[in-house]
Chain A
């Protein structure tokens, strides 16, 4: 029986969980900071940065 799919019979195809990459330090930092957001706790969410962004001149 698959761990992800639980039931009373065996399915034709097994469901395989993808390898989960361990949380990076960057992800851990941003997740932890988000919980305490406010005041001087502010941060750059690096994956959301629009690198091509140019302010209007």
Chain B
């Protein structure tokens, strides 16, 4: 049986670790169920430094060292795979998750230490790889859903891995392989609602995979039917995601019984008091199910004794919960049912309160729907979390003013994210040249610069550069209308736009986006 080491790399160092890596916990459970020997080192949770990571790598003769994560974990991943190659020259080093899937060829070029990358869903690919290791077979091109190197060092894509049709076949995540008591439960607080703030033993769960919406900033990790293999210009194969006129989706969700039984298991085993659904969007799943999914989850939440009951001291029995909603897809009826079952908070990606920005975004929501859902959610007794973004491609002074107007009228206190073209998103595909231009053609520098979008990285706004957006955000948060009006006059002079004309260069570009760089050349072979 293969001896496996899974390492969860450090991410978001500015905050304490809050989330058990759900995908890795599932893969650990799958590997153990298949009879393999598995150890997990949660570097992100422990944060003990490189000396301990070295000890972990030296702890055994690993057959496979597996890492994964989102793109912003790239810096930590790069460091770990370097150490792993040096300390464990015999081990197969593999990388999966969004960081690899969003740009497989680039990542394999950046990280020569990685032997094989897992593209998209790993639920079948990963145990197949372990079986190959047991059989002494390293011919990765025979394993679907991988990218590896041939004898000449050329990258080889195996055929695309199909998504599993039925999620309920998955085991529960191997939560006990992660430091729940030592780290995660201590960081249970989530500042989205009173109950979220008071949570002492929070766990995350994922009830679904996919989202029917086509927001241009979003990346669905290649596990939402959003990924395609296409013929590349050089005759090889390329991995492609959403772009205008080419959207594909596969929607999958766990049965309500699976979800609620899993929560009951976590309640009985780990004494949890809060569940955060990390689904892309609960409401899109509910709509896809014909408005039955969330109702049934809520009914079972009561039936299994999970609906919370408050004690006089503010603590509670049962499990409060929260997740993600959608302005156009929520209904008053379901919000009320959700609250009665213990839902305390719902994240809404309101993004903007400007009609033209929302129309260009592909979200299927409008400022009017944003406001409607805002009041419906409050009336149901749930805290709406009104996420906002500025720096959209077609952002203007007027769209920023529309945001400020809404914040003032609705009592929204917010520090907006900056529109960020994460790899895998439609924006990334659309603006790749402009991104490279901002990093002198060095894609890896851009990847290392990516954070959680609360700081600026590559700017895709046609009208405003990074410095303007940071300044405008500051003025917006303090509702300094006068300063913004004054700056618009300066901006018009700089860009030679007379009064009376719209204050926008869109679809043209401001100077920060106009330098044209050639596309880097990549060569890729196709698995035979």
Q: Which residues of A contact B (CB under 8 A)?
A: 2-9, 11-18
The stretch of B54-62, B227-235, B475-483 in contact with A is B54-62
Inter-chain contacts of A5 with B (CB < 8 A): 39-41, 56, 59
The answer, among B32, B52, B179, for a CB contact under 8 Å with A15, is: B52
Inter-chain contacts of B32 with A (CB < 8 A): 8
Inter-chain contacts of A4 with B (CB < 8 A): 41, 46, 48, 52, 56
Whole-angstrom distance between the alpha carbons of A8 and B41 in the complex?
A: 13
Contact across chains for B38 and A13 when beta carbons are under 8 A apart: no
Whole-angstrom distance between the alpha carbons of A44 and B46 in the complex?
A: 28
> From residue 168 to 197 of chain B, which have CB atoms closer than 8 A to chain A?
176-179, 182
Closest to B58 in A: A13
Inter-chain contacts of A7 with B (CB < 8 A): 37-40, 177
Instruction: With a 10 A CB-CB cut-off, give which of A7, A12, A14, A16 has the most chain B CB atoms.
Output: A7
Contact across chains for A6 and B51 when beta carbons are under 8 A apart: no
Inter-chain contacts of A8 with B (CB < 8 A): 32, 37-39
Inter-chain contacts of B49 with A (CB < 8 A): 18
Inter-chain contacts of A6 with B (CB < 8 A): 39-40, 42, 176-179
Inter-chain contacts of B58 with A (CB < 8 A): 13
Q: How far is the CB of B454 from chain A (nearest CB, A)?
A: 15
Whole-angstrom distance between the alpha carbons of A33 and B46 in the complex?
A: 24
Whole-angstrom distance between the alpha carbons of A17 and B48 in the complex?
A: 7
Whole-angstrom distance between the alpha carbons of A48 and B42 in the complex?
A: 29
Q: How far is the CB of A47 from chain B (nearest CB, A)?
A: 16
The answer, among A3, A11, A16, A18, for a CB contact under 8 Å with B60, is: A11
Given the interface pairs A4-B52, A4-B56, A16-B55, the reply to whether A9 lies near B46 with Cβ below 8 Å is no
Q: Which residues of B contact A (CB under 8 A)?
A: 3, 32, 37-42, 46, 48-49, 51-52, 55-56, 58-61, 176-179, 182
Q: How far is the CB of A22 from chain B (nearest CB, A)?
A: 16
Whole-angstrom distance between the alpha carbons of A6 and B181 in the complex?
A: 13
Whole-angstrom distance between the alpha carbons of A40 and B387 in the complex?
A: 30
Inter-chain contacts of B39 with A (CB < 8 A): 5-9, 11
Inter-chain contacts of A17 with B (CB < 8 A): 46, 48, 52
Closest 8 interchain pairs by CB? A7-B39, A11-B59, A6-B177, A11-B60, A15-B55, A9-B37, A13-B59, A12-B60
Contact across chains for A14 and B59 when beta carbons are under 8 A apart: yes
Closest to B39 in A: A7
Q: How far is the CB of B16 from chain A (nearest CB, A)?
A: 12
Return 15 A-B CB contacts under 8 Å, by A number.
Answer: A3-B182, A4-B41, A4-B48, A5-B40, A5-B41, A6-B39, A6-B40, A9-B3, A11-B60, A15-B52, A15-B59, A17-B46, A18-B48, A18-B49, A18-B51
Contact across chains for A12 and B40 when beta carbons are under 8 A apart: no
Given the interface pairs A5-B40, A6-B40, A6-B178, the reply to whether A12 lies near B59 with Cβ below 8 Å is yes
Closest to B4 in A: A7
Q: How far is the CB of B369 from chain A (nearest CB, A)?
A: 36
Closest to B176 in A: A6
Whole-angstrom distance between the alpha carbons of A18 and B55 in the complex?
A: 11
Contact across chains for A13 and B41 when beta carbons are under 8 A apart: no
Q: How far is the CB of B1 from chain A (nearest CB, A)?
A: 9
Closest to A17 in B: B48
Contact across chains for B55 and A13 when beta carbons are under 8 A apart: yes
Inter-chain contacts of B59 with A (CB < 8 A): 2, 5, 11-15
Inter-chain contacts of B55 with A (CB < 8 A): 13, 15-16
Whole-angstrom distance between the alpha carbons of A12 and B51 in the complex?
A: 18
Inter-chain contacts of B38 with A (CB < 8 A): 7-9
Whole-angstrom distance between the alpha carbons of A36 and B39 in the complex?
A: 40
Q: How far is the CB of B25 from chain A (nearest CB, A)?
A: 11
Q: How far is the CB of A5 from chain B (nearest CB, A)?
A: 5
Closest to A20 in B: B48
Contact across chains for B52 and A18 when beta carbons are under 8 A apart: yes
Whole-angstrom distance between the alpha carbons of A38 and B58 in the complex?
A: 45
Closest to A16 in B: B55
Instruction: With a 10 A CB-CB cut-off, give which of A2, A8, A16, A17 has the most chain B CB atoms.
Output: A8
Whole-angstrom distance between the alpha carbons of A12 and B176 in the complex?
A: 21
Q: How far is the CB of A55 from chain B (nearest CB, A)?
A: 27
Inter-chain contacts of A3 with B (CB < 8 A): 179, 182
Whole-angstrom distance between the alpha carbons of A17 and B176 in the complex?
A: 19
Whole-angstrom distance between the alpha carbons of A14 and B182 in the complex?
A: 18
Whole-angstrom distance between the alpha carbons of A53 and B178 in the complex?
A: 45
Q: How far is the CB of A49 from chain B (nearest CB, A)?
A: 22
Whole-angstrom distance between the alpha carbons of A22 and B40 in the complex?
A: 27
